[in-house]
Amino acid sequence: MPSLYVHVPFCARKCGYCAFYSEASGPELMGRYVRALVRELERVAAELRPRTVFFGGGTPTLLSLLHWEEVLKAMERLGLLGAAEWTVECNPATLSLDKARLLRSGGVNRISMGVQSLNQPLLERLGRIHSRAMVFKSYDILRQAGFENVNLDLMFAIPGQTLEVWRQTLDEALAMGSEHLSSYEVIYEEDTPLYAQLKAGQFSVDEDLACAMYDELVERASEAGFEQYEVANFARRSLACQHNVNYWRAGSFAGLGPSATSYVRGVRTKNWSNTRLYCELIEGGKRAVETREELPPLARAGEAAAFGLRMVAGWPFEEFRRRTGHDLRREWAGDMDQLVDQGWGRLNPHSFQLTRVGLRFADAAAQLFLR
Ligand SMILES: C[S@@+](CC[C@H](N)C(=O)[O-])C[C@H]1O[C@@H](n2cnc3c(N)ncnc32)[C@H](O)[C@@H]1O
Ligand code: SF4
């Protein structure tokens, strides 16, 4: 299995827009989770030789130094070190120099930091626990600890965010000099406070403004020396996130921890989104799987087509055939023609890719390919 994902289901406080499975909790549950995670790692270690490892969340950097030592020791004992790329997600309010150094010395070589905005009132509006000053401080800490591959996460089309405020955040973030930038338009996820506010009519969504913000993002990132390689992802020095590229190219991956998904040979399993239940099951020697879904080959290929089109390079026909056993030009010819007619797609001699407008509406374009 080329990729390992570990979900850390804790946050100091939930942000108003976020639907990732995580909760605020004390050191007791965190300790119990770490012990369960080590057991889950032990169970799958023999099948893993990961080229990429990604600890996401939640907020992995909320785990204490002692917890991280336990995790790193287990990874070493189980022969799981040595991945070419090992990312840990971090919230700027949860990083100390000691923790950054511990992670770096344990083999972590990429940090993804949730910034979202560099406008103080918007950070508060989003329910973030950190100030804008903390973003710069944590970034310096990461560099001091020796991290040479840092991603910054930004969000745009935040309620109350003007084009001018977005430009300021973008320019300041680009000037920080990170190797990677991920920038997503706000998604209104059900069961979040932000969604409830939208439904209550406290603000409305301005699609034209969101489009203008996306254009600004693509232009300014390119001017700053970033190459866009996916709808929302930009890299300098060819440092695209290999872990995510594996997802978009329909590669296999193992996912551990509550709510994590695994995808192996067309079978998708998902762990329970309940940390206590997850711990109970693992402690009892059981697997923590809630659902298992086996996709028929054509449906699997359709998903691969949909995911892979998020990449700026689109799908080289030969690579698609090699990975899925299906021919994009046969099964999906009509869908590709439709996208070309709409101005959303471009048919090249050896590949199909979305245009810049198409990338803006990649989710809608991708729907066509599902079978
Ligand atoms: C798990 S978080 C990153 C690490 C850490 N938990 C933090 O927030 O600082 C993953 C990223 O997903 C993005 N995200 C989460 N919810 C979102 C939403 N509803 N719409 C758009 N982006 C979202 C944010 O940019 C966030 O940084
Ligand atoms: S955005 Fe990050 S810090 Fe905020 S609730 Fe989601 S996972 Fe936690």
Mean pLDDT confidence for 109-135:
97
Tell me the whole-structure pTM to 2 decimals.
0.96
Given a cut of 80, is residue 1 above it in pLDDT?
A: no
Q: Could you tell me the distance, in angstroms and rounded to a whole number, from the CA of residue 58 to the centre of ligand 2?
A: 5
- Check if 138 has its Cβ closer than 6 Å to any atom of ligand 1: no
Q: Whose CA is nearest to atom 1 of ligand 1?
A: 57
Residue 360 neighbours by CB under 8 Å, 6+ apart:
211, 214, 231
Beta bridge partners of 253: 263
What tens digit of pLDDT does each residue of 328-346 get?
999 999 999 999 999 999 9
Is pLDDT above 90 for 284?
yes
Q: Is 114 in the pocket of ligand 2 (CB under 6 A)?
A: yes
The answer, yes or no, to whether any atom of ligand 2 lies below 6 A from the CB of 11, is yes
| Ordered DSSP codes for 303-367 | HHHHHHTTBTT-EEHHHHHHHHSS-HHHHTHHHHHHHHHHTSEEE-SSEEEE-HHHHHTHHHHHH
CB neighbours of 164 closer than 8 A, spacing ≥ 6? none
Which of 17, 362, 18 has the alpha carbon at shortest distance from 159? 17
Report residue 371's pLDDT band, with 50, 70 and 90 as the boundaries.
Answer: confident
Residue-wise pLDDT tens digits, 11-21: 999 999 999 99
Sequence-separated (6 or more) residues with CB below 8 Å from residue 162: none
9 lines ligand 1 (CB under 6 A): no
